[in-house]
Structure 1
Amino acid sequence: MNMDIGISTEDRAKIVESLSVVLADSYMLYLKTHNFHWNVTGPMFSALHLMFETQYTELWNALDNIAERIRALGHFAPGTYKRYAELSSITEEIDVPQAKEMIRQLVEGQEAVIRSARAAVRIADQIDDFPTADMLSTRMEVHEKNAWMLRAFLEQGAGQVQGEASST
């Protein structure tokens, strides 16, 4: 059936291509965050375990929205790990790194999703695809906040009360 939503076939293909990258980056970040949730250890275990769970749950729900937007634009969403690995700039972690390395990798992953969403929102804006631009804007806000929260764990003295001296 022919689709006439005010966005040309060519423009829909452009936005779907960029949305597919956002979906792939989001899925790869979801997998990494869930993996780290299962395997984090150390003195920050409880806080990180809970934060990672909150973040991977939010990502899981976002995946459906992104894929359904691709479908609403008349295309099939990528849905295999192989395709996600091809599209994503986020690489999987084969080992189980220390907690601080997990956090660092997740900050990088959050920032990668922000960059892919920002690139996609530029395309959506150019073709007046307001629903996609709105969804992507919301995604960027979530990932910027997540990156900020993760970065807080990497700051000097993280886990100490402000002004409290560390005991050595």
Structure 2
Amino acid sequence: MDLSGSGLLLVGPGRAGSALARSWTAAGGILLAVVGRTRARAEEAGRRLGAKEAVAIEEVSGLRGDVLALAVPDDRIPEVAEALASRVSAPFAYHLSGALAAQELAPLRGACGAIGSLHPLQVFTGAASETWRGVLVAVEGDAAAVARG
């Protein structure tokens, strides 16, 4: 997939999120921002992944991108979606939970055109070279998000 110039906003730079960011940039996309629980964690991940910006979640304001990806623990998805609803903008928003439906992102409907979930059929180990290349991914959500996913 060619993502030339397409901007990703990554919330949660853990194993799955970092692997997604590496795949995104390898396909020509731009990692616009990494959002972490703390500024220090976001900045460390931002340097490692080549992000244009790195902020703590409580500092997010006016972030815009092509895709918003929430790579946070399952039990935090609704809370994080609610917290970001008035502070981000992207045509598409996805979470990376393998167990929850896209509906968990409902608070983002006003800020994002379509919501979906990406369910990678793989466990990510956190290896520095790990990507989503070759990983089977189930996509669920709004028709536009599924088509884009």
Same fold by TM-score, threshold 0.5 exceeded? no
Structure number with bigger Rg: 1
Greater relative contact order, per chain length (Cα 8 Å cut-off, separation 6+): 1
The two structures have a TM-score, normalised by structure 2, of 0.29
The two structures have a TM-score, normalised by structure 1, of 0.26
